[in-house]
Amino acid sequence: QLVKLIAGPKNNLTVVGDDDQSIYKFRGASLANILRFDEDYSSARKIVLTKNYRSVQKILDHAHAFIQHNNPNRLEASSEGALSKKLEAHHEGEGVIEHIHAPRIEDEVAKVVEKISDLKVEGVDWKDFAILVRSNNAGTDFAQALERHKIPFQFLALSGLYTKSVILDLLAWIRIVDDSYDSPSMYRILTQEMHSFSERLVMDLNHLARKEGRSLFQACETATTSSDFDPEDSEKLRTLIDQIEGYQKEARTRRVGELFIVIAKETGYLEWMNTLDERLKQDSFGYLQQFYERLKGFERRHEAPMLHNFLSEFKHERDAGEEGSLSVDMEDGPDTVRIMTVHAAKGLEFKYVFVVNLVNQRFPTRKKSEAIPLPEGLVAVDDTGEHVEEERRLFYVAMTRAKEGLFFTSAKDYGGARKRKISRFLNELGYEDLSSDQSVVIDLTKEGQEVVQVDELHKYPIPKQFSFTQLAAFNTCPLQYKFAHILKVPVFGKWTFSFGKSMHNTLQRFFTVWLERVVANDTDENVLPVTLEEMMEMYALNWLDDWYVNDRQREEYRAKGRESLKAFYRQTENEGATPFSIEMGFTLKLSDIVVKGRIDRIDTFEDGVEIIDYKTGTPKTAKKLSKGDKEQLLLYHLAARDVLGLAPKRLTFHYLEDNSKVHFVAKDKELIELQEKIVDRVQNIRSSSFNATPGFHCKFCDFADICSFRAK
């Protein structure tokens, strides 16, 4: 109804949808919205997209025939022949569709692993394979089998962040800081590998706590002065207790996100994570970053974003059954077999797709309201039609993820007393029920059986697009690039970053309002469209309090920024130049390399344009600018010329500290050299092992504390 109000009365509205892929009813996405569109907008022009650029024709034909079982509740069926959704494949090729049936679930899993091993030939990556399950629980057996055979995989659940080991470890730390009586959290800390406390010691501490009726933290305090404990253990426990008590004091003043990173770093946990196996390390740092974003979200929503308040909210969240959503970068992710639910796979594509556990009551599932399902034959009327249609659409989505190979798998025995019938959806595709002796099952765990063992070097995900920041980081140190842009290790924020962002965001808002008023003709050419008072209000709204050393420094820089902006306003008022654009984004292609970025400001200048980049750091003179300093503006010059079709005549660094400007003109030689450097750097990134290049820059590196190669 809201869309109708917004689009009316002229009904300027464009919608894109496929009724056969409407699978999110549980989120409130109703199929009726698509089916009723004709009634609500009878004069709308319809454009039917039937060219498919993913799957081969065989897969498309089988999927189309299968979804007909949802007639008449489909757009195609209700159009009386006016609409055809039979897709035409752009790619040629035979393709393969197979049904693999096995006696037991263990055999089904083994057949899937065997088939993946057979299909993994030269030119095929592990990420070309996907195992699609109806529910997360169904993926565990396949994950364990792939792990046994050393086939790299990712179990891409939509939720479960809060149950990851790295998150549980650090949750234990922040919980014990909030409440030293939390003995389960203290136990998890004591048993963390990085502390190397013996199992015997932890048992003795538990016994002491139970004996005295005290918390485990209090038992640790007692052990620091007791002659019953080894002096070395007592000393280590004293250090741990002092650390916790120190964080308890910091928790009174630090925001929860800041405290979280402080604990992760100072306890040595980040350094310990850096010693993990490469795949586990990458996953763990990814989970850490996602949880840190959860903390930052809490900080943005709350006036008092302190630890205790967060844990209070977090407890309510966990009590409600929330496990923490997980986000996965499918494009830049590692080369692994993907295990995921069909819901999570929507919008994705893979060369080979395995749809597994295809037996009744697993796919399609029972209606959730059927707590005690009645046997077939005792129900006179089937009231589950709508549910089955939703499940059928989900199955259609699973089928259409495959580009070349589609494999359906099932088993007779999934445990329990009853044997399972194959899914009714397989029957609808033309497959018949099979007895267990109709399948040949190879047990890959037996001796003498040939199994593909994969112990290749871990391949890091290389982005398809690069930023200037990424290229600069790699040029400084490949290992720094790995920490920042592959592992994405959370780092301490810096007050310089907070100050710079406060100033930058203020200027962005200032110029945005300026241009809006110019476009609306709500300006007087003799005065700036935005008043100084308005600019100061923008500064107050965009000010970031984070990461300053103390209140004194924070207020010092708040005042310093205010004075700099006042001087900037007076300077701009005198110059009177209206910006041509602000925050102009670009995508620059160099050979097969894509570089993305955003230009602070572009002004018209004589017979071309001036490109301006604002800096909050220490001002430099033209003589002090190095080749490296110039690279950012030279990149912007290339983008303005080759992407935006502009003619840059001057490149300018504007230093906000004293509002000085440094201008220079790009030389053709410099632009050619930069293009060659970018191509060279990206090629090096693609083939790099990301070895460290220690040097003077280690002093300023965010990752020095977890890097064993840092310069001393």
Residue 383 is predicted with a pLDDT of 45
Helices then strands, each counted (H, E), the chain:
26, 14
The owner of tokens 């390390």 is 281
Residue 28 is predicted with a pLDDT of 57
- Per-residue pLDDT of 544-572, as tens digits, reads 988 787 889 999 999 999 999 999 999 99
Q: How far apart are the C-alpha atoms of 248 and 244, rounded to whole Å?
A: 6
Q: What is the pTM of this model?
A: 0.61
DSSP state of 482: I
Q: Are 206 and 182 in contact (CB under 8 A)?
A: no
Q: How far apart are the C-alpha atoms of 107 and 245, rounded to whole Å?
A: 54
DSSP state of 457: P
Residue 483 is predicted with a pLDDT of 85
Q: Are 416 and 69 in contact (CB under 8 A)?
A: no
- Per-residue pLDDT of 29-70, as tens digits, reads 666 777 778 788 888 888 889 999 999 999 999 999 999 999
Residue 368 is predicted with a pLDDT of 67
Bond from prior residue into 364 cis (ω within 30 degrees of 0): yes
User: Residue 27: pLDDT band by 50, 70, 90 thresholds?
Assistant: low
Give whichever of 380-394, 521-535, 566-580 has the largest mean pLDDT. 566-580
Mean pLDDT of the chain: 86
For CA atoms 348, 353, 358, 362, the dihedral sign is negative
Q: How far apart are the C-alpha atoms of 182 and 175, rounded to whole Å?
A: 7
SS3 at position 405: strand
Q: How far apart are the C-alpha atoms of 559 and 572, rounded to whole Å?
A: 20
Rounded alpha-carbon distances, angstroms, from residue 593 to 135, 330, 587: 38, 19, 10
Contacts of 206 by beta carbon, 8 Å cutoff, 6+ apart: 187, 216, 219
Q: What is the mean pLDDT of residues 11-21?
A: 87
SS3 at position 118: helix
Contacts of 316 by beta carbon, 8 Å cutoff, 6+ apart: none
- Per-residue pLDDT of 422-433, as tens digits, reads 999 999 998 876
Q: How far apart are the C-alpha atoms of 178 and 190, rounded to whole Å?
A: 17
Residue 446 is predicted with a pLDDT of 36
- Per-residue pLDDT of 445-471, as tens digits, reads 333 333 333 344 456 678 889 999 999
| Nearest by Cα to 594 from 465, 469, 473 | 465
Q: What is the mean pLDDT of residues 654-670?
A: 95
Residue 158 is predicted with a pLDDT of 65
Q: What is the mean pLDDT of residues 181-196?
A: 90
Judge whether residue 502 has pLDDT over 80: yes
Judge whether residue 588 has pLDDT over 50: yes
* DSSP state string for 626-688: -HHHHHHHHHHHHHHHHTS---EEEEEEEETTTTEEEEE---HHHHHHHHHHHHHHHHHHHH-
- Pairing label, strands 581-590, 593-605: antiparallel
Residue 278 is predicted with a pLDDT of 82
| Nearest by Cα to 124 from 453, 350, 278, 354 | 350
Judge whether residue 112 has pLDDT over 80: yes
Q: How far apart are the C-alpha atoms of 247 and 256, rounded to whole Å?
A: 11
User: Residue 373: pLDDT band by 50, 70, 90 thresholds?
Assistant: low
Q: Which contiguous run of DSSP H or E holds residue 429?
A: none
- Pairing label, strands 350-355, 581-590: unpaired
Q: Please give the domain boundaries of the chain with CATH numbers for all domains.
A: 2-56+67-89 (no CATH), 96-160+331-371+384-438 (3.40.50.300), 161-319 (1.10.486.10), 495-687 (3.90.320.10)
User: Residue 375: pLDDT band by 50, 70, 90 thresholds?
Assistant: low
Q: What percent of the chain has pLDDT over 70?
A: 90
Lowest mean pLDDT among 303-317, 416-430, 595-609, 651-665: 416-430
